[in-house]
Amino acid sequence: MNKEFWSEKITIGNLVIPRFMAAPLDGVTDSPLRQLIRDFCKEELLMTEMRHVSHVANDKLKRTLKYKEVEQPLAFQFSANRLEWIEQSVEKVIENGFKLINLNSGCPSRTVTGSGSGSALMANIPLLEKLLKEFNRIIGDRVPMTIKIRAGYKERNAVDVAKAAEAAGVSCIMIHPRTQPEGFVSRLDFELTKQVKEAVKVPVIFSGNVNNFSRAEKTYELTGVDGFMIGRALWGAPWKMREIVENSQGKEFSVDTTTALDYARRHFYLNKDFYGNSGFSIFKKQLPQYIRSVENAAMWRKTLLTTQTEEEMRLKLDQLCHEYKVDSNAL
Ligand SMILES: Cc1cc2nc3c(=O)[nH]c(=O)nc-3n(C[C@H](O)[C@H](O)[C@H](O)COP(=O)(O)O)c2cc1C
């Protein structure tokens, strides 16, 4: 595959974006991580975590719609299980400047599927069609409406769902080709993805284990998809998508331990700004990945993860950064 293919842009409705983009990961791809990803990738689409339409319409949490301009182009992902609240939530999302809207029809979590949202929508195509038409009616041509699906809920019906979604007006289909019971670990269904790609005209984006460039290449060979989402690989590694993009152009890109620690500390401070007091404990989720290449990583992991206060975490992080001569002025 030539380098040009990988640097070509794809068109989703009125958006023209690179083939690589960040996947939405609830509790992970929040505003602080997205801001850090932007240090490495300027144009790639980023996505919010999934939020239910009623949560957005009723302003359940002010920070749901908060982001920094640098995160653009930024997509908003909804979950929904009924028509109520769609109008109010869509207006808020568009008013707040999000550049694309996505309906989550892939979440496997029972707390989500239990109410008929997430991947359960794939088992209820009539409802899914109604929801998509309602989203489209309200959105019009202001931003692209898209959907993220799985291989299916219990049954592998992604082709039928993709066709129905396209007919209901979506501009792009993102697929994580595993069924709901398969969660996030079993074999990826490349054959089904290929069938989805062949069944629709809109761009199809693949999500699943794209954690290095050769996986993207292999995925393309097996499926012919138009784009690739980077998911868990970004967890505590905001430079990962850049590495894949550079490798796609035949260039090397890696981040040394000093830079990784610099970014760990930046992340800690961004979490403090974004989440307030709970920021440091939320940061703990991303920390092990940031420090995996330090000497005595297991010891440091334990030291940092058992900190009880933000101040304690800051002191320990500074100590680790000092050992690796991280430039404190960089902050
Ligand atoms: C912790 C976690 C949270 C996730 N949250 C979301 C979400 O909010 N919306 C969504 O569409 N997918 C979500 N996903 C699925 C990812 O977007 C992605 O499809 C999946 O992780 C496979 O890609 P990967 O192997 O590159 O991580 C989540 C996955 C994980 C592991």
Whole-angstrom Cα distance, residue 50 to residue 81? Answer: 13
The overall longest dimension of the chain from CA atoms, in Å, is 59
For residue 73, whether the previous peptide bond is cis, meaning omega lies within 30 degrees of 0, is yes
Task: Kindly report the three-state secondary structure assignment for every residue of 60-84.
Answer: CCHHHHCCCHHHCCEEEEEECCCCC
The top-level CATH class assigned to 3-248 is alpha beta
Atom of ligand 1 nearest to the CA of 211: 26
pLDDT tens, residue by residue, 20-61: 999 999 999 999 999 999 999 999 999 999 999 999 999 888
Query: Residue 231: CB within 6 Å of ligand 1?
Result: yes
pLDDT tens, residue by residue, 272-313: 999 999 999 999 999 999 999 999 999 999 999 999 999 999
Residue predicted with more confidence, 206 or 327: 206
Residue carrying the six token digits 């609830």: 26
Atom 5 of ligand 1: nearest residue by CA position: 25
Q: Identify the band that residue 329 occupies on the pLDDT scale cut at 50, 70 and 90.
A: low
Question: Domain-by-domain residue ranges, the chain?
Answer: 3-248, 257-330
Cα(312) to centroid(ligand 1), Å: 31
Query: Residue 144: CB within 6 Å of ligand 1?
Result: no
Query: Residue 182: CB within 6 Å of ligand 1?
Result: no
Whole-angstrom Cα distance, residue 235 to residue 51? Answer: 19
Cα(321) to centroid(ligand 1), Å: 30
Q: Identify the band that residue 62 occupies on the pLDDT scale cut at 50, 70 and 90.
A: confident
Cα(24) to centroid(ligand 1), Å: 6
Cα(105) to centroid(ligand 1), Å: 12
pTM for the complete prediction?
A: 0.97
